[in-house]
Structure 1
Amino acid sequence: MKNVNLLKQVDFIKEIDELKYIQRKTRLFNSDRHENDAEHSWHLAMMTIVLAEHSNVPVDVLKVLKMVLIHDIVEIDAGDTFIYDTQKNHTNTREELIAAKRIFGLLPQEQADEFIAVWEEFEECSTNEAKFARAMDRFEPLLQNTSNDGGTWVEFDVNYQKVYDKKKAIKNGSTIVWDYAEGLINESVDRGILKK
């Protein structure tokens, strides 16, 4: 007898392999190679484990891990929207919700409901876990760009104020990480890799 749940879960596991093909604008540390969404999600998961002690308040690390691993899966259908895109807003879109329902809908109903709820919680960014997950999501590309002499900031002519406005969300999850990040942003201006 076939285990229906297992078959659905395996279909989902196969589907999310597509995340490895979604290229981001940012590049790996000290590299010319673009990062893919799967690498980004893995890195955020590791950052969560390593940096959780710096959260503004204690968080459920497993829930944060679920958020950082799940949040970009919708990009399999919706594509990656560059955070500094001037044409398309980098917020939850109808397109992403449709993607979430389709992709997570491959899972057994209970898991599908949980994954959609976790994804929505990340997008709404109102819980402590979501705030810390968002902090990690904003911190990683900052580290990448500073390691790549400005990276996407230089490539797409992104100025200090745009970077500051997007990155200040880090503070909601961790003032300690934000203090460090703000220092990197200011150092980047001094280094000439981020224009004021």
Structure 2
Amino acid sequence: MMRDTQRTPPGLLTLILLSSLSIVSLNLFLPSLPNMARDLDTDYATVSLAIAGYSAVAAVLLLIVGPASDRYGRRPVILGGLAIFCVASLGCLLATDIVTFLCFRMLQAAIIAGFAVSRAAISDTAAAGKAASLMGYLAMAWAIAPMLGPVVGGVLDELFGWRASFLAFLTLGCALFVLCWFDVGERWPDKSGQLS
């Protein structure tokens, strides 16, 4: 029997995974930058724009995602962000030049919706005391993910090459999209623009 996502809040594991992927996508491939520069026939400084540009786009999106999820609902924003992230990850995986790679890399910043909406989902569905406890779990994910990301990315690069990190992003993004499809409920705006 399918879960009633209209009335049931998303599971804590779903929220942790959303937040973690949002954070680990920033630095998983850091150990691969020199190999990426060689393979894409560019210099290290140029390929490093994959980090700075991503961070800049993510910062702008954070200003947009919150109000958009308030206006249009949590579900479409989170699924839309994941869908864009998956397409962008595929683009990065298949890129053969630095310009194409950087364009798709900027689009990957759409995953920041997972970070913003996870926090909003807790505020929506939990009482103040419980919300603080749930935020603590998310905070642990925010602390651990940036530490583990480069370690895992380094292993992937050593064993399979730099594109393995983006294959991992694509795989994780698609799996999380399916999970969120069934687990992230909806709140719809009423005629006044308020979510009910």
With the shorter chain as reference, the TM-score category is: under 0.3
RCO higher in structure (CA 8 A, sep ≥6): 2
Q: Which has the higher helix share?
A: 2
